[in-house]
Structure 1
């Protein structure tokens, strides 16, 4: 074990249990709020399409809305590069504070913009600008927050700490789907379509006061401080980035592909289900929101339990292989259940099976990547790999699935895209080199 690793473990051991809990809450709570602000768009894509992208064909409006949903993902790699590099140079806490402000501004632009009928072409332009700002902010925040919580304590509990990051993203989906379920169940359809869909975006503006309060009280981790020893290093922002691609390019590529097996099913199944159920299956929106809500609940509960489990295992990789393999095998049967359903129960079962398989390995995939990268490029590396993954595979998933269903007329065509992607992800896990979790690479 290196002297740096010993120093880091010594510093981590001095932190109290209360300190660790406070760090987990501060990072995960705000990440959940940012993910909620970013992803709630997907739950209400049908209504957003009608307001900002009106067309004679409802599926065309939905296609334009989900394409705008994808714009935010295209901005995430840029945010990951710039905010991740800033975090590696200046500190994790400073970077996380800035993403909070940007997310609040982007959410306000989407949720408060007048409709196309009111201000014409300016309306979709404002929404696209808001989505871009949201994507830029989230692109950097997720990687920086995961890095912060990884470096906050000893290696023996890293799995549990990091697991709260995917759990917080599941909590965001749970909150968004629950609000959709509540609003669709209590509001008249015309009121929900007219203005009710804006309520979650207004609630999302809480990110500003809550995020700034909890994150300004954090201190940067020992790893972050040791990776940024002086002001000269802060100014030398090109060298770490060049090192990342030169020495860790294969890790970044495989990380993207490993995460793809979680990202595509989540966005094509969990977040898309309300739109899929109403536009494709011609069933009540309430059924779609119920499926997304139950799925999101699994994404909250399972990752911390899996994190406890992986902390007790000698290696991380077997759990990821099991999770990835199960996801690949379950996608096609799940869509068979969903497309042949005449009621909500088969849809709940199909979505639940896929969600449980994803959730089992969600935090451990992130942990494998974090432990494979040295501290000086860790925030940039995890942010870029995650952002490129969601830009290429998350932001396009709903658009591709919608296009396949529209062009083929076959609801099962969604599985034709999701299942092969999961197989590729499984192969990437097999090829990924696991590092010794007990050594914190300098």
Structure 2
């Protein structure tokens, strides 16, 4: 798609490509949002902490599949095309979601229930391993000159819309259903909604055109070449993983873990916690394109350095203050601050990652770096946060984990943009 493409067509293309990302992320995050209900349905071990830990372990298992999906599906996308790859990932994610939505509970089929839920999560993780990379690369390759950061930011923006919709549905359900109904069947309704919109999203994704940059490429690597290039550029993947570490830890702290933190730690109501989650996602949706566009003007480096450093310095103190002064208003204020840090950093980070990965393995390289960060760092944030609180007795301990994520981003930024460079070192010249 050339720079002369009408603006209306550009907007429509962004909506079409990110709509599938919306569904994938909507389905993926529902599991974290409704963790307390899912734990009672599939993991009723008689201990709330143990039940929740088993649920978050299953949630995290989906992230362990992401690197495999990134390599296999990413290589497929780099070889066969962006459009076909995005259709395949949508189909795999839909299969996993349908499985989770309709499998009976432990009381009905015993151990088969948690096993089938685990399979559904693994399918979701395998698909999500390349979805974010595929969407980001597509947006980067169809962006108009000088606006790549703004365009690519809508990949993350679609995630925020997914969170807002999931939170609104949860808020509505908790308003009209009794706690008993929510535990018994109400939590499944959002999954049914996700299944219902699958056919529509398949239809609009099939209308996507292949990117002009990919079509112009004379040589398209086969799977063996893709794997070889990834091996040669391992240092780029490693630094990319650390760069994404700040994003994934922050994101899962302030979105997926927020309902559990508000209910289990701060003892706020489900509705208050979900309302805070909605407002946080709305704040993210504002800051992502704003800072993506700003990074097009001032460069990626200053934004990445500033907001990773602010996260290191303020994440724990902010949560420590909130724990002592727990209320709906204070939780909203703290989460909006953390949202400002995350949204500002990520607005520049995603496009930066597309720029440091070699073009011939752009989808697989981006996806592998992102999925490794999610699998090893961010995806287990609810599990790590729950464990830290239980082990240390410090309810603000998740702030330490988020500060660690900021440290990962800060170190990676300094390594990639060395000696004051405003642009990253060319692919192949980045060294650890």
Using the size of structure 2 for normalisation, the TM-score is: 0.94
Shift of 1:403: 1.0
Question: Is 1:410 aligned with 2:369?
Answer: no
Shift of 1:348: 0.8
Shift of 1:414: 2.0
Equivalent residue for 1:52?
42
Question: Is 1:310 aligned with 2:295?
Answer: yes
Equivalent residue for 1:243?
229
The within-5 A match list for 1:147-166 is 147-166=137-156
CA distance in 2, matches of 1:415, 1:218: 41
Shift of 1:342: 3.7
Shift of 1:293: 1.2
Select between 117-126 and 203-212 the one with higher mean Cα deviation: 203-212
The within-5 A match list for 1:181-200 is 181-200=171-190
CA distance in 2, matches of 1:111, 1:333: 39
Closer, same or farther in 2 for the Cα pair 1:288/1:411, shift >3 Å?
A: same
Equivalent residue for 2:256?
271
CA distance in 2, matches of 1:358, 1:181: 24
The within-5 A match list for 1:221-260 is 221-227=211-217, 229=219, 233=220, 236-246=222-232, 248-260=233-245
Equivalent residue for 1:353?
337
Contact 1:334-1:349 within 8 A present in 2 as well: no
Measured against aligned partners, the alpha-carbon deviations of 1:99-122 in whole angstroms (never above 9, x if no partner) come to 111111100111111000000000
The within-5 A match list for 1:130-149 is 130-149=120-139
Equivalent residue for 1:323?
307
- Structure 1 gap ranges (5+): 1-10
Question: Is 1:179 aligned with 2:164?
Answer: no
Which of 195, 201, 212 pairs up with 1:205? 195
Report how many residues are paired: 424
Shift of 1:298: 0.9
- Structure 2 gap ranges (5+): none
SS for the counterpart of 1:154 is coil
Equivalent residue for 2:65?
75
Equivalent residue for 1:22?
12
Query: Which consecutive segments of 4 or more residues in structure 1 shift more than 6 A?
Result: none
Shift of 1:428: 1.3
Shift of 1:256: 1.0
Contact 1:255-1:369 within 8 A present in 2 as well: yes
Shift of 1:374: 2.8
CA distance in 1, matches of 2:394, 2:317: 15
Measured against aligned partners, the alpha-carbon deviations of 1:202-256 in whole angstroms (never above 9, x if no partner) come to 1111452132111111111122123364xxx56x31112211220x222211111
RMSD, aligned α-carbons: 1.9
Shift of 1:52: 0.2
Shift of 1:98: 0.6
Measured against aligned partners, the alpha-carbon deviations of 1:31-51 in whole angstroms (never above 9, x if no partner) come to 111101111110100100010
Shift of 1:339: 0.9
Equivalent residue for 1:7?
none
Equivalent residue for 2:277?
292
Shift of 1:61: 0.6
CA distance in 2, matches of 1:365, 1:244: 20
Shift of 1:180: 1.8
Shift of 1:129: 0.3
Measured against aligned partners, the alpha-carbon deviations of 1:385-421 in whole angstroms (never above 9, x if no partner) come to 1111111112211111111112222212222322223
Contact 1:159-1:308 within 8 A present in 2 as well: yes
SS for the counterpart of 1:418 is helix
CA distance in 1, matches of 2:268, 2:353: 40
Shift of 1:435: 7.7
Closer, same or farther in 2 for the Cα pair 1:399/1:97, shift >3 Å?
A: same
Closer, same or farther in 2 for the Cα pair 1:228/1:403, shift >3 Å?
A: farther
SS for the counterpart of 2:395 is coil
Contact 2:268-2:328 within 8 A present in 1 as well: no
Equivalent residue for 1:91?
81
